[in-house]
A and B are shown apart, each in its own frame.
Chain A
Amino acid sequence: MGYPHPSHAGETPVLSQYFGDREAITLDGWRKRGGYNGLQKALSMSPSEIVDVVKASGLRGRGGAGFPTGIKWSFMKPGDGKPHYLCCNADESEPGTFKDREIMRWTPHALVEGCAIGAYAIGAETAYIYIRGEFTEPLARMRAAVREAYDAGILGKNAMGTGKRIDIVIHKGAGAYICGEETAMMNSIEGRRGNPRIKPPFPAVSGVFAQPTTINNVETLVAVPHIIVRGAEWYKGLSLSSPKSTGSKLFSVCGNIAKPGNYEVTLGFSFKDFLYDLCGGPLPGRKFKAIIPGGISVPIQTMEEAEATKMDYEGFVEQGSMLGSGGVIVFDDQQNMVKQIARAARFFAHESCAQCTQCREGTAWTTKIMERIRDGEGTAEDLDTLFSIADNMTGKTICVLSDSCAVPVVSGINKFRSEFEALIKKPTFHPVTAAVA
């Protein structure tokens, strides 16, 4: 449902059905709503059966990359004699995204259940849930839910009386966007600076504490109990456009729009209907200008592109962007795109872990040049310089933070060039002439 707004007929509330329902927060309330039936059923299946069901459902990672979850789980080799780990990525820090926050605030037991099933499926006895430090309320609710689940015998050395051991540990982050990158998160859990690691080795081979590890997003894991209970075919049936995009997805909507909030729709939904009908369209007297549909790391869409989009992994790519984490940022005609892209660049400059030169220098210089243009101090060749920096920042670093900084800059200049040019009043800068003068 469109929390904090009433549910809309166009939505498919599977994960968000109980948002705003205070009773669902507690174990008793959650059980009354069918909670832990999925875990009960999963524990009666073999881990490989669970992996097969998740594979067949077509569930793809909801954190941004969209990797098929069942296939990711199948990389964890059973019986290798090593401890396996599940890490749940609840470090939701992508600007524009606030869906995991609401999942943990309203349905913490759904995540406990999803983690328990995920851990069992990949042969792990311990699941770490890495929650960003700023999420004090979701942290408190998750801690309370885990405590309740231990007290009720759902977790622990004899999970639900099956003799299987499932432990869940909540790990509180301390303020670092980059810790949402899976290898940085593993370093952070190990007690290190949150620098991303070079892959390979991939986490399934050598992850947290150098053991086989799977990292899943909150929203991915909370979908799993539903798939176990209702079956892969049901989940696969939730698809309106591309058969490669199945299920329902939460979209966080923010910025200049009438009804910001979280909305859950079946993948393939019309983005135009979504923006104008579900979310109530623009604010009175204003017009939409641009959309960032999947968190700030994905390319900016013009309104023509956005209105032609089918909301699934393939649909956003066809219209010049990506689904990403589903964080929809709406800009209206009151906004100056140069100022906002400069602000986005500053975000990345602040959050760069500074390991890779291209990122450390690139994010800083991009920000300086963007802010110079914003302040009317830009020169005619600044745009070319930005493109050249962006080229050096793309595909050349350990993680994609560097690429992510280049994305809004490049797509912004390409799609809103006139706004940049309107601010650039200075003639081309000639070093020789400047030195003489």
Chain B
Amino acid sequence: MTAVTHEHDAPYQPVFVGERRKELDALFPLYPTKMACILPALWMVQEDRGWVSDEGIAEVALVLELTPAYVKGVVTFYTMYNQHPVGKYLMQVCTTTPCNICGAEDVVRALLERTGCSDLGVTSPDGLFTVIEVECLGACGFATPVMINEEVVESVTAARVPEIVAGLK
């Protein structure tokens, strides 16, 4: 599992320099407009910084020749761009109907208890975990899937939660 550090107060370091800049430039010929690279560019910001800050939005706007307001409009539409810093491990639990009938709510409760998070979306005091509910991860036959950063853990039950959380600590 990839771990990303989240420096909340550190001065913003530009993302699109060196290799990242080359990676972005390589995307331009794939689309007829630069604007079409907005989702990939925001992904790069999030991969490198852990979340998409206003500074990150401004940088994406600059490199794609858009306004920060426009980029912010796009960011706020999509749920996967973190608009706030999150814990080292972001745990997204699917609680939509198919998982709900298989006990997803118990998984959420167990995760909150084990990670020490006081509520959904609130990072644990040790900065390690943020637990959120997510709408349908598209793995309904493997209820309940929990997405931990980039990895989807299938068939999670409340009973498996202590072992999963302990494995990350």
Contact = CB atoms under 8 A, between A and B. Distances in A.
A190 B135 CA distance: 24
Contact of A176 (B73, B77, B92): B77
A176 B141 contact: no
B39 A255 contact: no
Interface string A145-173: 00000000000000000000001010111
A98 B136 CA distance: 10
Contacts of B81: 174-175
B96 interface: yes
Contacts of A353: 77
Contact of A175 (B33, B36, B78, B139): B78
B124 interface: no
Interface string B134-166: 111111111100010011100000000000000
A254 B152 contact: no
Contacts of B152: 134, 136-137
Interface stretch (A41-49, A88-96, A371-379): A88-96
Contacts of A261: 141
Contact of A98 (B35, B36, B95, B141): B141
B135 A335 contact: no
A431 interface: no
Contact of A329 (B40, B95, B140, B142): B140
A254 B80 contact: no
Given A174-B43, A329-B97, A194 B140 contact: no
B138 A97 contact: yes
Given A98-B138, A191-B74, A174 B96 contact: no
B38 interface: yes
Given A95-B98, A96-B98, A191-B35, A134 B78 contact: no
Interface string A183-215: 000001111111000000000000001000000
A136 B153 CA distance: 12
B135 A193 contact: no
B74 A193 contact: yes
B37 interface: yes
Nearest to A189: B36
B135 A169 contact: no
A347 interface: yes
B138 A254 contact: no
Interface size class of chain B, counting residues whose CB lies under 8 Å from the partner chain? 35 or more
Contact of B77 (A133, A193, A260, A329): A193
A137 B152 CA distance: 8
Contacts, number: 143
B32 A93 contact: no
Contacts of A301: none
B39 A191 contact: yes
A192 B98 contact: no
A252 interface: yes
B5 interface: no
Nearest to B35: A191
A254 B140 contact: yes
User: Considering residues B31, B81, B143, which has the most beta carbons from chain A within 10 angstroms of its beta carbon?
Assistant: B31
Contacts of B73: 193
A191 B139 contact: no
Nearest to B76: A193
B15 interface: no
A386 to B, nearest CB: 17
A8 to B, nearest CB: 15
A94 B137 CA distance: 9
Question: Which of A134, A189, A255, A261: most chain B CB closer than 10 A?
Answer: A134
Interface in B84-105: 92, 95-98, 100-102
Nearest to B137: A134
Contact of A93 (B30, B77, B138, B147): B138
Contacts of A344: 96-97
A95 B100 CA distance: 11
B135 A177 contact: yes
B53 to A, nearest CB: 16
B141 A252 contact: yes
Contacts of A256: 101-102
B74 to A, nearest CB: 6
A331 B97 CA distance: 10
B102 A175 contact: no
A192 B97 contact: no
A134 B77 CA distance: 15
A98 B137 CA distance: 9
A190 B141 CA distance: 32
B13 interface: no
A282 interface: no
A391 interface: no
Contacts of B101: 255-256, 329, 331, 335, 340
Interface in A93-146: 93-98, 100-101, 126, 132-137
6 interchain residue pairs of minimum CB distance: A175-B80, A174-B78, A254-B140, A175-B79, A191-B38, A191-B35
21 contacts: A95-B135, A96-B98, A98-B140, A98-B142, A101-B138, A126-B30, A135-B138, A175-B79, A175-B80, A176-B78, A177-B135, A188-B39, A189-B36, A254-B98, A255-B101, A260-B140, A292-B97, A340-B97, A343-B95, A343-B96, A343-B100
Given A169-B30, A256-B102, 7 more contacts: A133-B80, A134-B80, A174-B39, A188-B39, A191-B35, A329-B97, A340-B97
